[in-house]
A and B are shown apart, each in its own frame.
Chain A
Amino acid sequence: MKAILTVLGKDKAGIIATVATILAQNNINIEDISQTVMQGYFTMIMLVNLENSKIGFGELQEVVAKKGEEIGVKIMVQHEDIFNSMHRV
Chain B
Amino acid sequence: MAAWVDAILVFAVLTNLAVLGSSRLGLCIRMVAAQGIMIGLLPVVGHWHAVDARAVGLATASVLLKGFLVPWLLHWALVEANVRREVEPYIGYPMSVLIGVASLCLCLWLSARMPLPVAAGEAGTGASALAAPVAFFSILCGLLMIVSRRKALTQVLGYLVMENGIFTFGVALALEEPFLVEFGVLLDVVGAVFVMGVAVFHISREIHSIDTDQLSMLREERR
A joins B in a complex = no
Q: Which residues of B contact A (CB under 8 A)?
A: none
Q: Which residues of A contact B (CB under 8 A)?
A: none
